[in-house]
Structure 1
């Protein structure tokens, strides 16, 4: 039997090898409307107080809180966005709208619900203390405050805050561009009829979707024939266009598996085998200073290895510091068998019942059965050295999405 010349790494060793070899991409300035989901690369300080003037938090009347007059003359109305030359003195009030600047002389706002106004005179059913329903200067932010730190993930709230402060652009880590190519003379693109022995290419579509979901920018190169010169040319073209390259297929031990020899010729292979199922022949290399992942051709193997190694790599390049999914201990709902010579990652559904996490796998776990990933929200990590697990046994689960509450 022909043996691979590459040492067998554990999944943990492979993960460390990948993330320790990479650095974040150089930051770039981005309009805030295009920065959703990106990681901030600079400190953001408030340039001014927010709000910059005392304003009303309610629709009502701007008053002098200490004035105990039985009724008050309404001098006028202050709208949001307009400032009139009003001055509130004893026995008078200003009708005011939410967000409007508090007029000079006033120090509180009585909500309209506690008022009775008739013919320019208002009476109140309740009085409020100094500062009531008034947003003071700097309530949200004071000039010079550190508002956002490097490493912050920009979500809707953060982008809204940046807009509030007048920031139209921010320094962020860019979304990594990922070139994706499939190898194999048996592959046919969508829309083409299948000849005997051919199958449709699903991996480039699934991988592109996964890269986009992680936060990268997929660049699909399509299907490359099993010809060394064409594969080499496609690899170099992908690296010219992208920050990372994924190949699918061609990494096993067959005579037409050409990816590893080409990567050895062009760069450095860091590992060529992982003691895991599925995804044993997963390969990681550096070519011209950029990461290249040689993924297996089986669809499930390809996606599992992308989850375990490509996703952390892409996140590190995008400036994230949390690289892996959350993990938790789950109780098996049924017995499971697996090959004890490798760590196995079985597709599973994790549910919560009475505060405890339970898991069941998705059925047949063969590498070519893409349906085993459909509906799965977790991967069960079954360690090597144990051939079977019984219902009630506890194992580790990697959560892909939130567990279901039953």
Structure 2
């Protein structure tokens, strides 16, 4: 059975769903065709972003929707956006389906010349855009429906000739899941079946059937007026980052290396010795034979925590002076604190104790003695694989206590940061006042500082001018160095000088996995991979506005870095990320149609003995206003206003990513 998705594109039906007649019409139509079933149906507004979002999501192979039908938005009005939204998503066009629908429509009405249908394949889904009226939907779908099952079956198969022979006998025999014998390769793009890697990834992701970005050699007048990159959700972008972040690499690192803190342990670490490896005194005092009891005893030896000569073996009726951490002499089984003794006599020169009285009663074996292996036993697990080396020093301390100076950890990637833009002035190279139209480059210093604070090595790559040749040269040079991640800011929007995406795709032969994200700020964020020096390198092209760039580093780049460094997602998370906590809003906040990431200050406040985390937004949240980060220690994660109240009232609980320590009041 083929699963069908139906998308009604209509502003009016979105506001009043009772107006929709298309979904009931198609439900009735498919009831008479038992090989099909409508698995999903949705009504959305006439918005390019909304159309691309749902078509992209529904065409994921995990959704298993073989046929996606849209209805509406194919005319000439300014709100008819369906063809413009769907066409960039299609990987293989189906002009024959379009021709068949138009031909049949012309037989009915001459107004068919004003229809603008689109059809084609994305991944394993056939997408067809239909008119908005139920009558026209049935007419257009009916004109091509007799061959649709053949088309859907053919999408999954390699050998079309074998399929045609099968189809001549019966469609059911050749349906998806049936076994077809491949006799020759018809040159359809396909991937071999591969074993999943350690993250369960199979294949190489989005198929590169055609270039998506603008042609750099074309005149400005021929460039896209709307982004050809589909808008993906943050969740979908996380899935793509998870799939295409390079695998972790284990290396041996010294525990005193500057990058050791924050590293992830790559294999279990066992204690090579016991701690302590001798019986040690817990206090300053006297080693005794516990059964001797109180009384006066000669001091026959001294044991210091120095690793010098082994102390004399004690016999009953003798004691030895010991310091904290020093070995307890053989023969002794307990230590009495110095406060529980009295000096009786000294040696002739008065420099040492000769006799001491033990005042303590009830002394039992092992009192004030650390047994061998009482802290750590030889062979015990001290650091498990996956442990993150914390800033407290505890992990370093435990390794040092057993004499381990090097262990295997996952290598942290090395980053390079490049700003782009003719208007930028390097703060370190300023020679006078800014010229008209110039600004200081704040993105690069901010990102360099942030990256170092999050524990990664980073290289300053300077500023690239808005020139195709200059940008391509600097990107290629950066990728040819020893960096693993290239972080750029600016040049990713829709301006004629926004050259990064075309340069990545057309000059560097990179793969852009997503070029827009449904979020605020940071919509044009781009994630790509490029092969350089025989290895996969990651490019995050971040927006040029400083607040956007900083938000996107914490939301996208850092999770990828953590994954590449060996960290694992927690719970339902797709990627490892900053600590996510629930906070109360100090004031009401309006929600945006897109999920929004606002900078905030989180404070721990005690109310009636109960501690709560309260978040105060750090002023105006414009994406160019880096001042919103100046006092921020968190990023509020606010949902879209779609389907809910447009405002979160004061006291509402919401999620926040913690950037640093929380204030305590």
TM range (shorter): over 0.9
Report how far residue 188 of structure 1 moved: 0.8
- Shift of the alpha carbon at 1:42? 1.8
Match of 1:363 among 619, 628, 637: 619
Task: Indicate whether 1:343 and 2:595 are aligned.
Answer: yes
Query: Which of residues 160, 174, 187 in structure 1 aligns to 2:397?
Result: 160
Query: 1:405 aligned to 2:628?
Result: no
Specify the alignment match of 2:282 in structure 1: 57
Q: Does residue 272 in structure 1 map to residue 532 in structure 2?
A: no
CA contact (8 A) 1:15 1:308 kept: no
Deviations 1:168-226 (A, max 9, x none): 21111222100110000000111413211111111111111111112211111000111
Larger % of strand: which? 1
Deviates more, 1:243-252 or 1:36-45: 36-45
Larger deviation: 192-201 or 392-401? 392-401
Report the counterpart of residue 329 of structure 1 in structure 2. Answer: 582
Structure 2 Cα separation of the partners of residues 395 and 45 of structure 1: 42
* Residue 267 of structure 2 corresponds to residue 42 of structure 1: yes
- Larger mean Cα displacement after TM superposition, 77-86 or 118-127: 77-86
Q: Residue 526 of structure 2 corresponds to which residue in structure 1? A: 283
Q: Does 1:171 align with 2:408?
A: yes
8 Å Cα contact 2:248/2:410 also seen in 1: yes
Preserved CA contact (<8 Å) 2:303 2:311: no
The match for 2:476 is: 236
Matched, 1:19 2:242: yes
CA distance in 1, matches of 2:651, 2:315: 75
C-alpha distance in 1 between matches for 2:469 and 2:635: 38
CA distance in 1: counterparts of 2:396 and 2:639, whole angstroms: 43
- Asked if structure 1 preserves the Cα contact closer than 8 Å seen for 2:274 and 2:402, the reply is no
Distance in 1, Cα, partners of 2:539 & 2:311: 67
Q: What secondary structure, in the 3-state scheme, does the structure 2 residue paired with 1:292 have?
A: strand
Counterpart contact for 1:115–1:125, Cα < 8 Å? yes
After TM superposition, the score normalised by the length of structure 2 is 0.59
Map of 1:123 onto structure 2: 357
Structure 1 residue matching 2:295: 3-state secondary structure: coil
Q: What is the rounded CA distance, in whole Å, between the counterparts of 1:324 and 1:248 in structure 2?
A: 21
User: Which of residues 348, 366, 384 is equivalent to 1:149?
Assistant: 384
Length, aligned pairs only? 405
Match of 2:447 in 1: 207
Which of 479, 503, 511 is equivalent to 1:262? 503
* Structure 2 portions without partners, runs of 5+: 1-223, 346-353, 570-575
Contact 1:73/1:121, CA 8 A, preserved across alignment: yes
The separation in 2 between residues aligned to 1:97 and 1:319, in whole angstroms, is 44
1:334-375 Cα offsets, whole Å, 9 max, x none, are 2222432x1111111222332233222111111111111111
SS at match of 1:277: coil
Q: Deviations over 1:142-164 (max 9, x none)?
A: 22112111111224121122122
The answer on 1:307 being equivalent to 2:547 is no
Give the match for residue 378 of structure 1. 634
| TM-aligned CA deviation for residue 85 of structure 1 | 5.1
Greater share of residues in helix: 2
Separation in structure 2 between the aligned mates of residue 152 and residue 395 of structure 1, nearest angstrom:
29
Structure number with greater Rg is 2
Find the aligned partners of 2:565 and 2:621 in 1 and give their Cα distance. 32
In structure 1, runs of 5+ residues without a counterpart are: none
Query: Hey, what's the Cα distance between the residues in 1 that align with 2:620 and 2:661?
Result: 23
Map residues 105-120 of structure 1 onto 2, 5 A cutoff: 105-119=331-345, 120=354
Contact between 1:278 and 1:304, CA under 8 Å: does it hold in 2? yes
Question: Alpha-carbon deviations, 1:271-314, whole Å to 9, x = none?
Answer: 00011111000000011111100100000000101110001011
C-alpha distance in 2 between matches for 1:331 and 1:100: 53
Q: CA deviation at 1:100?
A: 1.6
Distance 1:166 1:356 in 2: 43
1:83 aligned to which of 309, 321, 335: 309
Query: Match of 1:3?
Result: 226
Judging changes above 3 Å, is the alpha-carbon distance between structure 1 residues 32 and 307 closer, same or farther for their aligned structure 2 residues? same
Instruction: Describe the shift of the 1:129–1:231 C-alpha distance in structure 2 as closer, same or farther (beyond 3 A).
Output: same
User: 2:452·2:458 contact (CA, 8 Å) conserved in 1?
Assistant: yes
User: What do you get for the CA RMSD once the two structures are aligned?
Assistant: 1.7
* Residues 279-288 or 383-392, more deviating: 383-392
Superposition TM-score, scaled by structure 1 size: 0.95
Distance 2:396 2:651 in 1: 46
Contact in 1 for aligned 2:591/2:639 (Cα 8 Å): no
Match of 2:494 in 1: 253
In structure 1, C-alpha distance between the alignment counterparts of 2:310 and 2:458, rounded to whole Å: 55
The alignment status of 1:390 with 2:646, answered yes or no, reads: no
d(CA) in 2 for partners of 1:392, 1:135: 52
For residues 296 and 604 of structure 2, the distance between their equivalents in structure 1, rounded to whole angstroms, comes to 61
